[in-house]
Amino acid sequence: DQQVKQNSPSLSVQEGRISILNCDYTNSMFDYFLWYKKYPAEGPTFLISISSIKDKNEDGRFTVFLNKSAKHLSLHIVPSQPGDSAVYFCAAKQAPGTASKLTFGTGTRLQVTL
């Protein structure tokens, strides 16, 4: 049962353009969401997060949007740079007092071309 879904396994974007990575979830108990970036042979690196009480969080070139009613979130990267090429994972955490584990999606491989 995949509770966090990233339906696009790959995405190719030109340098300077916007990259939009999407994530859907099914568990309504999730109340905190995170995006991680992963390079080959390295562990995931935390990128940006958002609480369910917000609908947008911005950090430099990275913005995460949350649509709680649709159980959908997206990560926008603008402008995209070649160094952004990596696999991006969406992750979700349940409310405090319950499990502290993260539930991850299957990832989207982003390639930023020149």
Partner 1 sequence: DTGVSQDPRHKITKRGQNVTFRCDPISEHNRLYWYRQTLGQGPEFLTYFQNEAQLEKSRLLSDRFSAERPKGSFSTLEIQRTEQGDSAMYLCASSTRPPGLADRSSYEQYFGPGTRLTVT
Chain residues in the site for partner 1 (CB under 8 A):
4, 32, 34, 36, 41-46, 49, 51, 89, 91, 93, 96, 99-107
Distance between CA atoms of 20 and 110, rounded to whole angstroms? 10
Tell me, what DSSP letter sits at residue 83? G
Residue 67 identity (one-letter amino acid) = N
In angstroms, what is the minimal distance from the CB of 45 to partner 1? 7
In angstroms, what is the minimal distance from the CB of 67 to partner 1? 19
Q: Is 33 exposed, middle or buried (0-12, 13-18, 19+ CB in 10 A)?
A: buried
Residue 27 vs 45, nearer CB to partner 1: 45
Residue 60 vs 114, nearer CB to partner 1: 60
Residue 56 vs 101, nearer CB to partner 1: 101
